[in-house]
Every structure is written in C-alpha cells, then in structure tokens.
Amino acid sequence: MSEHKNGSAAPDVPASEPSFWEAEKGLASWLFTLDHKRLGIMYLVSTMVFFLVGGVAALALRTELLTPEGDLFSATVYNKLFTV
C-alpha cells in the first residue's frame, strides 16, 4: 500500500493490461501468441474448420451412394475421399 497526498492509504492498483482483442494486430501475432485466450479461440476455430471439412466429405460420399451406378466419382477418387 502507498500513501497518497491526502494521507490516506490506498491499495496499489496495477495498470490494466489491454484485452487480447486489443493487444497486437496481424496474423503473426495470432500464430505466435502464448496468450491462452487466443490459443483457445484458435483451437475452437480449427476444430470447427475440420468438422466442416469432414462433414462435406461425408455428404459427398453419401451423395455418391445415392445411386448404384456411382456416377459422381471414379472408384479411385471415392477411395481417396473415404480415406480422408
């Protein structure tokens, strides 16, 4: 605690740090950050992106299986898409 001009004792209040949205701008600041909040956001975004990619691949496979002819993909492309 420090003593102020008027003689009252008040706790030292540290200067507030900028929020993680206001810190640094740019892609490099997001990719090389150690801030746990930014890391959590990047984790959630990447999870949603891969979930979307997997969903699109699953829809493409199910679309291929609508008809017995399999006219959307060749057998090789179907196997590669299934492997992904």
Average pLDDT, the chain: 83
Mean pLDDT value of segment 63-78: 88
10 three-class SS: strand
- Please state, in angstroms and rounded to a whole number, the distance separating the CA atoms of residues 31 and 43: 11
Tokens of 36: 């746990």
Give the residues across from 2 on adjacent strands.
10
Q: How distant, in Å, are the alpha carbons of 3, 12, 73, 80 from that of 16? A: 21, 12, 57, 52
Distance CA 68, CA 76 (A): 16
Q: Which residue reads 């605690």 in tokens?
A: 1
Each residue's pLDDT tens digit, 15-43: 677 776 777 788 888 889 888 988 999 99
